[in-house]
Structure 1
Amino acid sequence: MRSGFRFLVWLFRRQLGGQARALMWGTLHMSGVAALPVAMGLAVQAVVDGSGRRLAAAGLVMLGVAVTVAVADTMLHRAAVTNWITAAARVQQLLARRTAELGALLTRRVAAGEVVKVSTGDVEKIGWFVESFSRFAAAAVATLGVCAGLVVFEPGLGLLVGAGVAVVVLTVFPLLPAATRRADRERARSGRATELASDTVAGLRVLRGIGGEELFLDRYRRASQEVRAASVHSARMWALIDALQVVAPGLLLLTVVWQGAQLALADRLSPGELVTVYGAVMFLMFPLRLFQEAAMAFTFSRPSARRAVRVLSLRRESGAAPAAGSAGPPPSGDLTDPASGLRAAQGRLTAVVCGDPDAAERLAERLGGHPARGGDAPSAELCGTPLDLLPLETARAAVLVQDKDPVLLSGTLTGLLDVPRSGRVTVSQALEAARCGDALDALARAAAGRDGGDPMRAHITERGRSLSGGQRQRLALARSLITDPQVLVLDEPTSAVDSHTEASIAEGVRELRAGRTTVVFTSSPLLLDRADEVVFLQDGSVAAAGTHQDLLATHPGYRAVVTRETGDGPGTPPSPAGPLAFAQETA
């Protein structure tokens, strides 16, 4: 995690066996291709000398070399692609684990489009470099062997070829930094366009409601054109590099042929030897192209590796590291938050009222073992043990937090509700407690004629967009209830349902969670009236605690938040309309 280059080295070391196999087959393949000019030279010289026996022997050598090249090339391709897939899959696994560990913290620190690009395009570029390295190494070995052979055969010609190869390779390196910068610019523009498209699709319903489709379409069109311009700008540099890789080797080939022809005219080279030299130089064009590919792969993979490291190096902000070792049974007891003074008694339903939604969200995250943003607040404690000191799996098993905007993954309802659970709560009990009857009816209608009308087999679209906001919220609540955690923290679980359904859900949750610790962040009187204890927070600290009725009668600040009163001051007695409105609503 120290740098993108070290990450690439780590990936390489993780599959040394695959790299060794690819290098072996690549070296055999390159050696076979390099041997073909020698066999061709022997055949030409046999024809010149009129030797049928040597011509037949040269033919057999060429046949053996061709079979060797075919087998080695096939196995090289198999090994190289395996290395590519292995490296890409390993990076994706690491990203998936880090995403699961960080949760919502990830998208607060890294843009969603950035994460998508890293887990798709960047992993392919990283795998490309890992795959191309073994072929590059084999090409380097073959090139050095051919150059050494030419030096031994004809020192002057061999030194000319070696110097020419070095010049061809070095002409590319000055252009690589500029190519890297242009590729980074293209990738940044592409990530921005992807993020904008994702946001547009996610908010399409809202955009249609306010007539904002054209505005966002224009924004995406501009972003797309920026991507196109950056791609063309980057492609021009790589076109220049490609041109140099054609012109420079071509000039080298012309020089070698001219020099070889002069040696042949001086009777220092036979016709067969001239063909061999020409074929050897032609062969060098092949590994030189592989050098360019390896340079491109390394150029593109380093920024991709840096971005992957940026995501993989993110950690849960905490003043203390989680305890090492395997996850064990979590401690049982009261859930407390030292920063605010909140205490949720074990086995009771505690409602939390907070006038600041952001403060409520931060508190809910701390109660779930997610550290405060900035890491300046102490961790929440379960039975006196800070959650940050528990192994992550233990903390997650003990406390489950459902935020105010839960996500439904695409798939069937059966798959959606297939989550880790204690077994105490069945699927039907959770759906009943969350009052998901109308959601099941909607899914049954969608599955009619396809899955026998079974709502459990009906397909739920991405993020549950085929359902209403209230239906999505209740299905998410049922999913949380099925897990039956020791502590369940719900942030505004009924904000999208009507008052009648809300009251019914409050009763269902209270009955199903009997004996379990439940914390509900809400300002709804229907939920507050059914809580065992209500805690009121002001300025991030507990200001009062008691039953809903007691706080309503004795605490003006609480009354102002719950009843939405605007005219009463802190010391003003309640107006008749406030309690009367509350009584009518609860009735």
Structure 2
Amino acid sequence: MSLIQLPMSDPGSPDLTSPLRFLRWLRRSQRRGQLLAVLWGVLQMGAQAAIPLLIGRGVQAAVDRDSGAIWLCGAGAFLLGAVQAAAATMLHRQAVWNWITAASQIRQLVARQASRLGAGLSHRIATGEVVAVSSGDVEKIGWFVEIVARLWAAVAVWLAVSAVVLVRQPVLGLAVLLGVLVLAVSIWPLIGPFERRFDEQRSLGGKASELAADTVAGLRVLRGIGGEQLFLDRYREASQKVRAAAVRTARVWAVMRAQQVLLPGAFVIGVTWYGAHLVVTGALGIGDLIAVYGATAFLAGPLRVLGEAAHAWTVARVSAGRAVRVLSLARTDGDSEAATATLTLDRAARSDLHDPATGLTAAAGRLTAVVCGDPDVAGALADRLGGHLPRSTEADGTDAEAPVRVVGQAPRAATATEGSADRLGAGAPSARLGGIALDELSLAGARAAVLVHDKEPVLLSGTLAELFDIPSSGRVAPAEALAAVRADDALDALVDNSPEAEGDPMRSRITERGRSLSGGQRQRLALARSLVADPPVLVLDEPTSAVDAHTESRIADGLKEIRKGRTTVVLATSPLLLDRADQVVLVQDGRVVATGTHRELMHTDPRYRSVVTREETAPLEETA
């Protein structure tokens, strides 16, 4: 029952057919913990239910002046009290273990899914939704997994107590057996309204979390344009919606809680009144009445467990549905987890990278620059070259990057660049490395061969040394990579903000997402991290968009030198980067339309010149 085994070496392969099946799979994966909790629960509740029987027998023995029976019943009650205390302690320990284990298992599943999808995760589901699933939802699901064992124990003890009372007093036993069943059924009409209101609250909470994450991420930009108050008002409005939904949910839950107290109380009063009537008529002894009253009052406990289980089931089913949605996302339509194709790193380093959808070929060992002119097309192409699911496609078939439209405004016609992005979407043939489709490689194999450096990379909090502690070839040292990206000012900023580093940049700390650094400094540190990884094929999407021209020119030189002999693809429109490339490719309308050096294309191709210099030219013929 130790938690040392967490995190698990393998969280397993969940059943994602439905939320209910996912919850069943989660319970089955904890068979031992569930069984122990049921056993401890039966022992604890059984001892608690038996104590009133011994007390009743003792009182009856006192009425009959049987001192031996009094001592025997007292010793038995004391022993049962000790058993109850010990079993309650063990039940609580086991219940907490089950809860924590279930929550940890789901967190590992979500983390593994995020690792599988990489940058594609944020393109297909809101960040706030992922955060909500990995925080609040896992707690609610863990609560349900924990309480199921206590529910089974409560049901077992309820049946046992009902059987004992039924044998001793058939009429009272029948009342106890049927009365508790009626009280249990009376809870269910409130389950549906509670579930609907909680689902609404959960949905609004996810949207508020997403808005908060976006606001924090763009806080520096918001301050620059004076938009803090606008986003504050938006978040306040979203927060009030969550509050109102939570109040509506709490109202139903309050009725359920009141029902759990009122109905069992009325039931105990009714049984006790009838038992007192039997005592008065002489049909029942005073000791038996105490025993029946104690057993009946005890049944309020299992009823509370039943109500708690109904609440836990409701919120867990909603939370499980959202967890299943995240865990069901696939990297590609075919999901290459079971792929058998292999590609050695040495062969990958000597192989051309080819994209059949656009006709792009990046020669092995050379620096190839790709000019798209539209950042969405460039981003989709970068994803394809890395074997990632295109950004424009979600698991449910909806457009993850649908354009924002003002209410009341007529929808605009699709542009040529949007059509280009569609042609790079799902269904297009996979990019190929050395003749092998990346979708046919295992996820680990594809990532080892091709690394895609996103245009908005994330720096995790920690020391600079930890930032560079990544799988790599060992060919490029962190100091070389930092020198290549000209990160001197970023290192100085880290040292200034980390007195505990004592002047050592590698010991200096990076704040969450590198917020203490400028955009250009973050960009260069992230680029240095990619250079340290030194993959056979490196795809860079606008790696210098946040730096000045002088620094960009020096980075271009450093990049070409440090990646010498390695295949590098740079998607950019900066002349400083394009001029250092061995080959420049122009992509328009989803196809390669020109190839050459930067200077050749500047002199011979007006379409290329228009994109790079941003000059107005005669419009091209529209594609079909």
The equivalences for 1:549-564 within 5 A come to 549-564=599-614
User: Match of 2:190, as an amino acid?
Assistant: L
User: Match of 1:556, as an amino acid?
Assistant: P
Deviation, structure 1 residue 227: 1.3
Structure-2 residue corresponding to 1:235: 250
Q: What CA distance in whole angstroms lies between the structure 2 residues aligned with 1:306 and 1:42? A: 51
Structure-2 residue corresponding to 1:350: 368
User: Match of 1:434, as an amino acid?
Assistant: V
Q: What CA distance in whole angstroms lies between the structure 2 residues aligned with 1:75 and 1:329? A: 53
1:275 paired with 2:290, answer yes
Deviation, structure 1 residue 326: 9.7
Q: What CA distance in whole angstroms lies between the structure 2 residues aligned with 1:384 and 1:410? A: 39
Deviation, structure 1 residue 343: 0.3
Structure-1 residue corresponding to 2:188: 173
1:360 paired with 2:411, answer no
Structure-2 residue corresponding to 1:387: 438
Q: What CA distance in whole angstroms lies between the structure 2 residues aligned with 1:264 and 1:56? A: 25
Q: What CA distance in whole angstroms lies between the structure 2 residues aligned with 1:570 and 1:386? A: 33
Structure-1 residue corresponding to 2:323: 308
Deviation, structure 1 residue 376: 2.1
1:416 paired with 2:431, answer no
Deviation, structure 1 residue 203: 1.2
User: Match of 2:178, as an amino acid?
Assistant: A
Deviation, structure 1 residue 233: 0.9
1:495 paired with 2:545, answer yes
Q: Deviations over 1:157-193 (max 9, x none)?
A: 1111112111111111011000111111111121121
Deviation, structure 1 residue 230: 1.0
Structure-2 residue corresponding to 1:469: 519
Structure-2 residue corresponding to 1:21: 36
Q: What CA distance in whole angstroms lies between the structure 2 residues aligned with 1:245 and 1:329? A: 64
2:586 match: secondary structure: strand
Deviation, structure 1 residue 322: 4.7
1:379 match: secondary structure: coil
Q: What CA distance in whole angstroms lies between the structure 1 residues aligned with 2:201 and 2:573? A: 47
Q: What CA distance in whole angstroms lies between the structure 2 residues aligned with 1:92 and 1:383? A: 37
Which residue, 469, 484, 487 being the options, matches 1:433? 484
Structure-1 residue corresponding to 2:389: 371
Q: Is 1:371–1:379's contact at 8 Å kept on the other side of the alignment?
A: no
User: Match of 1:334, as an amino acid?
Assistant: D
1:154 paired with 2:169, answer yes
Q: What CA distance in whole angstroms lies between the structure 2 residues aligned with 1:173 and 1:190? A: 26
Q: What CA distance in whole angstroms lies between the structure 2 residues aligned with 1:244 and 1:503? A: 73
Deviates more, 1:19-28 or 1:197-206: 197-206
Structure-2 residue corresponding to 1:186: 201
2:344 match: secondary structure: coil
The equivalences for 1:103-142 within 5 A come to 103-142=118-157
Q: What CA distance in whole angstroms lies between the structure 2 residues aligned with 1:257 and 1:241? A: 24
Deviation, structure 1 residue 319: 4.9
Structure-2 residue corresponding to 1:70: 85
Deviation, structure 1 residue 210: 1.3
User: Match of 1:446, as an amino acid?
Assistant: N
Deviation, structure 1 residue 456: 1.4
1:217 paired with 2:256, answer no
Structure-1 residue corresponding to 2:13: none
Q: What CA distance in whole angstroms lies between the structure 1 residues aligned with 2:151 and 2:60? A: 33
Q: What CA distance in whole angstroms lies between the structure 1 residues aligned with 2:498 and 2:293? A: 70
The equivalences for 1:546-585 within 5 A come to 546-567=596-617
1:519 paired with 2:519, answer no
2:299 match: secondary structure: helix
Structure-2 residue corresponding to 1:576: none
Structure-2 residue corresponding to 1:579: none
Q: Deviations over 1:2-55 (max 9, x none)?
A: 100000000011010110111111111111001101111121112112222211
Q: Deviations over 1:369-406 (max 9, x none)?
A: 11334412111000110000001100000000011111
Distance 1:320 1:42, change over 3 A: closer
1:359 match: secondary structure: helix
Structure-1 residue corresponding to 2:4: none
Which residue, 563, 584, 605 being the options, matches 1:534? 584
Distance 1:258 1:419, change over 3 A: same
Q: What CA distance in whole angstroms lies between the structure 2 residues aligned with 1:364 and 1:262? A: 83
Distance 1:21 1:342, change over 3 A: same
Structure-1 residue corresponding to 2:593: 543
Structure-1 residue corresponding to 2:61: 46
Structure-2 residue corresponding to 1:292: 307
Q: Is 2:172–2:271's contact at 8 Å kept on the other side of the alignment?
A: yes
What TM-score comes out, normalization by structure 2 length? 0.89
Q: What CA distance in whole angstroms lies between the structure 1 residues aligned with 2:620 and 2:151? A: 76
Q: Is 2:154–2:302's contact at 8 Å kept on the other side of the alignment?
A: yes
Distance 1:180 1:322, change over 3 A: closer
Q: Is 1:3–1:306's contact at 8 Å kept on the other side of the alignment?
A: yes
Structure-2 residue corresponding to 1:585: none
Structure-2 residue corresponding to 1:3: 18
Q: Is 1:421–1:482's contact at 8 Å kept on the other side of the alignment?
A: yes
2:361 match: secondary structure: strand
Q: What CA distance in whole angstroms lies between the structure 2 residues aligned with 1:339 and 1:532? A: 22
Mind listing any 5+ residue stretches in structure 1 that lack a counterpart? 572-587
Which residue, 441, 445, 455 being the options, matches 2:496? 445
Deviation, structure 1 residue 317: 2.5
What TM-score comes out, normalization by structure 1 length? 0.95
2:497 match: secondary structure: helix
Q: What CA distance in whole angstroms lies between the structure 2 residues aligned with 1:61 and 1:323? A: 61
Which residue, 335, 353, 364 being the options, matches 2:353? 335
Deviates more, 1:157-166 or 1:379-388: 157-166
2:456 match: secondary structure: coil
Q: What CA distance in whole angstroms lies between the structure 1 residues aligned with 2:544 and 2:212? A: 30
Deviation, structure 1 residue 266: 2.0
Q: Deviations over 1:412-467 (max 9, x none)?
A: 1111111111111111111111111111111111223x221222122211111111
Q: What CA distance in whole angstroms lies between the structure 2 residues aligned with 1:26 and 1:324? A: 46
Q: What CA distance in whole angstroms lies between the structure 2 residues aligned with 1:54 and 1:162? A: 29
Distance 1:86 1:328, change over 3 A: farther
Structure-2 residue corresponding to 1:94: 109
User: Match of 1:344, as an amino acid?
Assistant: A
1:493 match: secondary structure: coil
Q: Is 1:40–1:58's contact at 8 Å kept on the other side of the alignment?
A: yes
Distance 1:305 1:570, change over 3 A: closer
Deviation, structure 1 residue 198: 1.3
Q: Is 2:336–2:442's contact at 8 Å kept on the other side of the alignment?
A: no
